[in-house]
Copies of this chain bind each other. A is one copy, B any other.
Amino acid sequence: MQANLREHIEKIIPLTDDEFAFVNSHFSSRKFKKHQFLIQEGDPVKYSYFVISGLLKLVYTDGNAKEHIVSFAMEDWWESDYYAFFTQSEATMSLQCLEDTEVLCCSFEDYQKLCNGLQKMERFFLEKATFGFLGSQRRIISWQTSNSKERYEQLLKQYPSLFQRVSKSLIASYLGVSRETLSRLSS
């Protein structure tokens, strides 16, 4: 499976050929190998990434050097350390490849140019941000209301393909349960 930027945007808002050419000129393509970092904690965050193919993990490392998976990003997803991206500050998270990955990169300057230059793109990003917020809110409710078994089943139902692509330790880290608990749940 390979994502396509134009199809992705046009799920929300139709673009003319000229408009898409304008949009496309604000992105550059890059390929990364499995294990490579797109963002490392402490670095400036230059880009928001749209995943064409592959799989990424966004990781927050706590004071005890324990890694927590904040999110996964696969084909058709956007990912970055967005707090650092939007405030143009240093990364507090890392973004790393779990597979060989191809992304389209959009710098903060180009993001602003897109919003200012084409109102349709501002509408597109408003829709993405709104549904990003709603997805996070749903996840908070899931933490509040569900035990680890239920959260595991919700994730399996929502993203069955993820379970073929990542290790159980990473799923456990995303769900906030121990590897042992997860083994019990998934056996």
- Which A residues contact B (CB, under 8 angstroms)? 60, 62, 66, 68, 70, 82-83, 86, 115, 119, 122-123, 125-126, 129-134, 136-141, 143-145, 176
Contact, CB under 8 Å: A143 / B145: no
Q: Give the distance to chain B from A158, nearest Cβ to Cβ, in Å.
A: 15
Complex: A42 Cα to B115 Cα, angstroms: 36
Complex: A66 Cα to B126 Cα, angstroms: 33
Write 24 A-B pairs (CB below 8 A) sorted by A numbering. A60-B141, A60-B144, A60-B145, A66-B145, A68-B144, A70-B140, A82-B130, A82-B133, A82-B137, A83-B134, A115-B126, A119-B122, A122-B122, A122-B123, A129-B129, A129-B130, A129-B133, A132-B133, A136-B137, A136-B139, A136-B140, A139-B140, A140-B143, A144-B176
Complex: A136 Cα to B136 Cα, angstroms: 6
Copy total for this chain: 2
**Which 4 A-B residue pairs are closest in the complex by CB-CB distance?**
A136-B136, A129-B129, A133-B133, A68-B144
Complex: A119 Cα to B132 Cα, angstroms: 21
Instruction: Write out the residue numbers on chain B whose beta carbons fall within 8 Å of the beta carbon of A139.
Output: 136, 140
Complex: A176 Cα to B68 Cα, angstroms: 19
Given A115-B123, A119-B119, A133-B133, do A141 and B68 touch, yes or no (CB 8 Å)?
A: yes
